[in-house]
Amino acid sequence: MKLVFATHNQNKFQEVKNLVPTSVELVSLRDIGCYNEIPETGKTLEENAQIKADFVTSTYGLPSFSDDTGLLVNALNGAPGVYSARYAGADKNANANMDKLLEELHAIGDRSARFETVIALNLNSGCHFFKGVVHGSITKEKKGKKGFGYDPIFQPKGYDKTFAELPMEQKNGISHRAKAMKQLVDFLATLTNS
């Protein structure tokens, strides 16, 4: 089965490719010749994920899935949330996003947060949603060189390291994206086994 993962983010693509069974030929937007920046105009993670998957399916006629991820900080009423990638501006600069968040939490004691990923899958004329959540907290400084996005300042609950300090295999065992992807992979398995 050929399936498009509607992303331009090669770090994210590699992370997800490691989670998909070899029976699925996973391709990126670049692989199908799509260089458009698909606008994320939704008000929720679900809406943004569906907008991107729908764009690929309607434009290229291919089964597709897309994810949208938000970092929700309790002390900031769930911000940055759906605006996580553009928190410090439209250029999606990860370091600027982290710096802004650390500044806003500078004098706040409650640093609890969660990552949420929602995947929208367009397959066989239907749209299916999968959601993964991981709880943790925001550190006071960036730690680690692995990962991407907010990984250097997010410490998952029960761990003494940030996502950016954990090996990819370990992160993929506990992350929000991995949890949502497991649901997606299990769903695909039911189709191929039926």
CATH code: domain of residue 110: 3.90.950.10
Q: Label residue 194 by pLDDT band (50, 70, 90).
A: low
Mean pLDDT score, 179-193: 86
Q: Taking a C-beta distance cutoff of 8 angstroms, is the pair 143, 127 a contact?
A: no
pLDDT at 87 (0 to 100): 95
Measured CA to CA, the distance from residue 8 to residue 69 in angstroms comes to 14
Q: Convert the pLDDT of each residue in 26-45 to its tens digit.
A: 999 999 999 988 888 999 99
- Percentage of the chain beyond pLDDT 70 is 98
Mean pLDDT score, 110-133: 96
**Does residue 14 carry a pLDDT above 90?**
no
Q: What is the DSSP letter of 126?
A: E
Q: Label residue 192 by pLDDT band (50, 70, 90).
A: low
Q: Convert the pLDDT of each residue in 138-167 to its tens digit.
A: 999 999 998 889 999 999 999 999 999 999
Give the list of residues 6+ apart from residue 57 with CB closer than 8 angstroms, or none.
63, 64, 122
Q: Label residue 11 by pLDDT band (50, 70, 90).
A: confident
pLDDT at 193 (0 to 100): 64
Q: What integer best gives the mean pLDDT of the chain? A: 92
Indicate if 67 belongs to the active site.
Answer: no
pLDDT at 37 (0 to 100): 86
pLDDT at 148 (0 to 100): 86
**Does residue 98 carry a pLDDT above 90?**
yes
Query: Two tokens at 104?
Result: 């806003």
Mean pLDDT score, 123-149: 94
The number of domains in the chain is 1
More confident residue, 137 or 38: 137
| Candidate list 54, 68, 99, 186, residue with the active-site label | 68
Q: What is the DSSP letter of 185?
A: H
pLDDT at 103 (0 to 100): 97
Mean pLDDT score, 78-99: 93
Give the residue numbers spanning the domain of 58: 2-193
What does residue 19 show for φ and ψ, rounded to 5 degrees?
-100, -15
